[in-house]
């Protein structure tokens, strides 16, 4: 009986950052025990009072402030999960964006073709050469059409190669 009371007292007051000490207070309803050789943990009439002290001084002015726990239960509420519809992105409703290559007189055809092939992995050298010729003759050419974030990424990669590129909604 005594062990279960102490176990319940520890379970109700336990926090990850607390340390406990067990005193030898007697309950007002428990009879006195005449045996002094046994420890308070083995005497059925006694139970230990649980004192809880936070690590790091307990927050008091003298650092030794203690708080007596009387079996109160702390209730921690969990945050409510967001509905599953709000967690998913609206990818299927987004418009497609075009990656545009603009003509410049600085870079060679081979360099521009190589840059397009390295940035857009799905384009062959032959198709990249056609895009380069179209940008040279018409002023701009569509490299690829994709979703907005990928179009931004490809545009920035082409610009890192020194090419003039932009994106536009399809």
- Same domain? 64 vs 98: no
Q: What is the pLDDT of residues 92-149, one digit of tens each?
A: 667 899 999 999 999 999 999 999 999 999 999 999 999 999 999 999 999 999 999 9
Q: Is residue 89 part of a domain?
A: no
Q: Is residue 157 part of a domain?
A: yes
Q: How far is CA 5 from CA 23, 86, 127, 141, 147, in A?
A: 14, 47, 80, 80, 64
- Same domain? 98 vs 64: no
pTM attached to this predicted model: 0.48
Q: Is residue 79 part of a domain?
A: no
Residue 77's pLDDT is 82
* CATH code of residue 127: 3.30.1390.10
Number of domains in the chain: 2
Phi/psi of residue 63, nearest 5 degrees:
80, -5
Contact between 100 and 140 under an 8 Å Cβ cutoff? The reply is yes
Residue 78's pLDDT is 84
Q: Is residue 77 part of a domain?
A: no
Give the domain extent around 157: 94-169
Rounded to an integer, what distance in angstroms lies between the CA atom of residue 87 and that of residue 41? 53
Question: How does DSSP assign 12-40, residue by residue?
Answer: HH--TTEEEEE--PBPTTSPP----SS-T
Q: Is residue 74 part of a domain?
A: no
**How many other C-beta atoms lie within 10 A of the C-beta of residue 95?**
8
- Same domain? 100 vs 55: no
Residue 45, SS3 per DSSP: coil
- Same domain? 161 vs 117: yes
């Amino acid at each position: 009986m005594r062990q279960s009371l102490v176990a319940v007292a520890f379970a109700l007051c336990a926090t990850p950052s607390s340390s406990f000490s067990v005193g030898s207070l007697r309950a007002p309803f428990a009879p006195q025990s005449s045996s002094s050789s046994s420890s308070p943990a083995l005497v059925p009439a006694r139970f230990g009072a649980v004192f809880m002290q936070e690590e790091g001084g307990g927050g008091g002015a003298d650092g030794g402030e203690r708080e007596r726990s009387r079996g109160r239960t702390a209730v921690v509420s969990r945050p409510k999960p967001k509905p599953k519809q709000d967690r998913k992105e609206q990818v299927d409703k987004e418009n497609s964006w075009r990656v545009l290559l603009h003509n410049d007189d600085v870079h060679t055809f081979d360099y521009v073709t190589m840059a397009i092939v390295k940035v857009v992995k799905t384009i062959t050298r032959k198709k990249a050469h056609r895009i380069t010729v179209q940008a040279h003759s018409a002023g701009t050419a569509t490299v690829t059409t994709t979703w907005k974030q990928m179009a931004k990424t490809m545009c920035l990669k082409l610009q890192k190669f020194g090419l003039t590129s932009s994106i536009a909604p399809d």
